[in-house]
């Protein structure tokens, strides 16, 4: 006996996409479809649900091949616009990390530091086609005699450039407050004393991994929207933790799944990759990601109909508990409440603000929908799904 009433395969859905007959809706629209028709009927009607997220995502960066110079150099040390890149890969390969701060930045010695420029901004400059100053230093070998090279380049001068982000699209993320008596500056933004504000950072019901909470359709080789181009899921992201506690509907209450993603930087756009400066904390990169979820059966229809009110996250004190490394959740709140602009903890009304852009997340889901409807984007069937429970 069949396990599901509706059973579709990646191949069948791709055939429909090629013929321009696939029915695609965004994760927001899917909520209504399932409410109106139920999961089985929704699974029959809908082929793909598109998701999106646009948020500051540390653990991002790009591999660049700088091309050989004449005379040749073994570029052990590399700087792009004075931001150090890691050169210990090969003669002219380097990795520019999103959170690397420009050399000579006063950091937090003038507290809170402004962190105006870093790796995330270099990546934004590259995808914008801007000129970037490349500086290389080597120690000189018989085959790579040059010790120093300096030139102005843009992304087209790079032999290869691909974004490779080890941890993106966190399935869920905690909400941050500050119980101390002074304003603090964190990667979750500025947090005012005595819980005067709370910040959070996923796109909730639109966010990719909330719509496939057990990673039934997502894994190595899943084709995704990445920074405006078509990229891929390369591997489970660092800190991927499927064992996190979950609600009855399978939605994790904190952290859980993550993705390592890869894509051609040369095809990406600054509209979907933007450098970020977090006051008093450092630099990062805003990354736009969208994942299409194939509705293979009614269970996937049920998962993709997840709503903000069914998604919860824990609230942590970044004033004391978190920095000490002894974080205890002080409350649990729903994304519906977070997105309403106010949450209530211990009878106190707290103003909330996101760090991720719901507006852009929705744009990504819609763009991905257009691509699939137009036959420009085919589903990538994972060679292996992500570790799950």
Partner 1 sequence: MYSKKIVIRYTPDIVQQPIIYQFTKKYDLVFNILKARIFPRREGVIVLELTGLKENFDKGIRFLKEMGLHVEPLAKSVSQNTEKCVHCGACTAFCPTGALSFEKPSQKVLFDAEKCNGCELCVSCCPVRAMEINLL
Q: Does 319 bind partner 1 (CB under 8 A)?
A: no
Q: How many residues bind partner 1 (CB under 8 A)?
A: 29
Task: Give the shortest CB-170-to-partner 1 separation in angstroms.
Answer: 16
| Segment interacting with partner 1, rule: CB under 8 A, options 60-68, 196-204, 210-218, 240-248 | 196-204
Q: Report if residue 106 touches partner 1, rule: CB under 8 A.
A: no
Considering only residues 275-314, where is the footprint of partner 1 by CB under 8 A? 275-279, 284, 286
User: 58, 94, 143, 201: which is the annotated catalytic residue?
Assistant: 143
Under a CB-based contact definition with an 8 Å cutoff, are residues 223 and 132 in contact? Answer: no
Q: Which of 353, 376, 384, 387 binds partner 1 (CB under 8 A)?
A: 353
Two tokens, residue 54: 């646009």
CB nearer partner 1, residue 204 or residue 257: 204
Q: Tokens for 52?
A: 């999106």
Residues 108-167 that bind partner 1 (CB under 8 A): 116
Interaction between residue 56 and partner 1 (CB under 8 A): yes
Q: What is the x/- site pattern for partner 1, positions 360-379, by CB under 8 A?
A: x-x-----------------
Residue 146 is classified by DSSP as B
Inter-residue contact 117 to 127 (CB < 8 Å): no
Q: Is 354 in the site for partner 1 (CB under 8 A)?
A: yes
User: Binding of partner 1 at residue 338 (CB under 8 A)?
Assistant: no
In the bound state with partner 1, the residue whose beta carbon lies nearer, of 91 and 126, is 126
| Contacting range for partner 1; rule: CB under 8 A; set: 61-69, 149-157, 354-362, 364-372 | 354-362
DSSP structural state of residue 105: -
> Based on CB atoms, which residue is closest to partner 1, 201 or 260?
201
Name the minimum Å distance from CB 14 to partner 1.
32
CA distance 372 to 46: 13
Half-sphere exposure of 175 (CA within 13 A, CB side): 32
| CA distances (Å), origin 190, targets 111, 285, 321, 345, 352 | 13, 17, 17, 19, 12
175 carries an active-site annotation: no
Alpha-carbon distance of 6 to 105, in angstroms, equals 58
Short-list 272, 269, 343, CA closest to 312? 343
The sign of the dihedral angle between the CA atoms of 219, 368, 19, 261 is: negative
CB nearer partner 1, residue 116 or residue 154:
116
Question: Which one of 38-46, 79-87, 268-276, 315-323 is the stretch in contact with partner 1 (CB under 8 A)?
Answer: 268-276
SS (H, E, C) 272-289: CEEEEEECCCEEEEEEEE
Q: Could you tell me the CA-to-CA distances from 63 to 7, 222, 306, 361 in Å, in that order?
A: 40, 20, 36, 25
* Whether 150 contacts 133, CB under 8 Å: yes
One residue of 50, 217, 258, 357 binding partner 1 per CB under 8 A? 357
303 and 281 Cβ atoms separated by less than 8 Å: no
- The binder of partner 1 chosen from 351, 384, 387, 389 (CB under 8 A): 351
User: Least separation, in Å, of the C-beta of 236 and partner 1?
Assistant: 26
Pick the piece of the chain touching partner 1 (CB under 8 A) from 37-45, 166-174, 216-224, 346-354: 346-354
When binding is defined by CB under 8 A, the residue of 99, 178, 313, 352 that contacts partner 1 is 352
SS3 state at 266: helix
Phi, psi angle pair for 50, to nearest 5°? -100, 145
Among the listed ranges 72-80, 98-106, 195-203, 226-234, the one in contact with partner 1 (CB under 8 A) is 195-203
Q: Taking the mean position of all CA atoms in its chain, how far away is CA 90? A: 27
Q: Which residues bind partner 1 (CB under 8 A)?
A: 54-56, 116, 189-190, 197-199, 274-279, 284, 286, 341, 351-360, 362
For the annotated catalytic residues, the residue numbers are 143
């Amino acid at each position: 006996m069949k396990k599901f009433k509706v059973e579709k395969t990646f191949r069948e859905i791709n055939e429909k996409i090629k013929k321009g007959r696939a029915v695609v809706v965004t994760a927001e629209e899917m909520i209504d479809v399932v409410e109106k028709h139920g999961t089985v009927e929704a699974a029959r009607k809908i082929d793909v649900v598109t998701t999106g997220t646009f948020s500051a995502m540390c653990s991002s960066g790009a591999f660049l091949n700088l091309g050989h110079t004449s005379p040749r150099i073994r570029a052990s040390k590399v700087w792009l616009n004075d931001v150090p890149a890691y050169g210990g890969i090969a003669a002219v390969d380097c990795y520019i990390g999103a959170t690397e701060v420009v050399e000579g930045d006063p950091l937090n010695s003038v507290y809170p530091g402004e962190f105006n420029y870093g790796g995330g901004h270099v990546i934004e400059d590259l995808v914008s086609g801007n000129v970037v100053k490349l500086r290389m230093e080597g120690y000189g070998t018989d085959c790579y005699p040059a010790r120093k090279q300096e030139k102005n380049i843009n992304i087209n001068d790079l032999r290869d450039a691909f974004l490779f982000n080890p941890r993106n699209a966190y399935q869920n993320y905690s909400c941050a407050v500050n119980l101390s008596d002074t304003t603090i500056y964190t990667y979750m933004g500025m947090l005012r004393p005595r819980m005067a504000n709370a910040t959070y950072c996923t796109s909730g019901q639109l966010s990719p991994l909330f719509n496939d909470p057990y990673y039934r359709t997502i894994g190595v080789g899943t084709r995704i929207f990445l920074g405006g181009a078509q990229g891929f899921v390369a591997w489970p992201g660092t800190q991927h933790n499927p064992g996190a506690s979950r609600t009855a509907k399978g939605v994790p209450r904190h952290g859980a799944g993550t993705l390592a993603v890869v894509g051609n930087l040369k095809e990406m756009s600054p509209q979907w990759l933007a450098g970020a400066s977090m006051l008093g904390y450092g630099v990062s990169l805003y990354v736009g990601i969208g994942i299409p979820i194939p509705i293979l059966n009614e269970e996937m229809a049920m998962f993709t109909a997840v709503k903000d009110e069914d998604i919860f996250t824990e609230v942590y004190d970044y004033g004391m508990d978190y920095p000490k490394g002894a974080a205890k959740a002080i409350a649990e709140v729903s994304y519906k409440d977070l997105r309403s602009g106010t949450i209530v903890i211990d009878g106190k009304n707290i103003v909330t603000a996101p760090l991720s852009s719901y507006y852009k997340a929705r744009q990504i889901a819609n763009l991905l929908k257009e691509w699939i409807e137009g036959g420009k984007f085919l589903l990538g069937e994972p060679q292996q799904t992500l570790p799950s429970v």
